[in-house]
Amino acid sequence: MPECIHGLEIPLCDACYPKAQPVKPVVARVTRPAAPRAIRGSVATSSRKSIDPARQRVYHVTHIGNLEAILASGELGARATPLVDLSTDLTRELRLTAEVSGGRSVADFVSFYLAPSANLWDDLRRGADDETRWSAAARSAASADFVVLVTTVAELGPEAVVTDGDAAGSLTRFSTGDDITRALTKLHDSEALGVAEVLAPDSVPFSSIQLIGVANDPVRDRVRELTSAKVAVYPPWFQAEL
């Protein structure tokens, strides 16, 4: 498929081909802690159609300081110890004790966002002010210090799990197998897309990563010294939502 100057497929680049924002109806919502914010950046497909897991992109955000170890191991590991840890002890404990299924905890899965403007990523871009969730390293980092690793739901394998909220939340529901397409379709263009996660068990081969998004040219050059994977400079992914 043709690509724009940012290295993205043309239908997916909001900078070169901006899309009109739909007017969303007001919908009564069940009260939950930390109500999700509306986000941009979902796949370019009508919400009336089923979302194909092979086309639905997912996004894993990590500090660039962790990239070399990821490349050395050849995978994103759920239990890997990052050089730059973005989470607090409390966050890790909550994910360790939250069960997905079969006695496996959220900590046994690699987490991806369903949109490049996910709420937690936006929190990081704004400075990671929540000291209960984010580590001191996260709060001191600039948005350009991060990279976004992009793949699709289908690439995460048949045991992938789609959540409708924070995976460690007590009210969060999990979808697997044949229910994933239905869950993705329901989440598409909804406010819950900003807090939803896609979980991959154990590890994700780095060969499954289709694109590395970076904030600027210097970071792109630095990443290209480490890997031959496709790297795209796309500043909107690294700017806080207004």
Alpha-carbon gap, residue 17 to 55, rounded angstroms:
19
Alpha-carbon gap, residue 212 to 233, rounded angstroms:
9
Lookup result for tokens 């936006």: 122
Q: Residue 68: left (phi > 0), alpha (psi -120 to 50), or beta?
A: alpha
User: What sign does the CA torsion over 138, 141, 143, 147 have?
Assistant: negative
% of residues, the chain, pLDDT over 70: 80
pLDDT value, residue 29? 40
Sorted by where each starts, the structural domains of the chain and their CATH numbers stand as 39-238 (3.20.170.20)
- Classified as helix, coil or strand, 152 is strand
Cβ burial, residue 147 (10 Å; 0-12/13-18/19+) = buried
CB count in 10 Å sphere of residue 242:
3
Single-letter amino acid code for the residue at 95:
R
Tens digit of each residue's pLDDT (9 = 90 or more) over 33-83 = 444 454 444 443 444 588 999 999 999 999 999 999 999 999 999 999 999
pTM above 0.85, yes or no: no
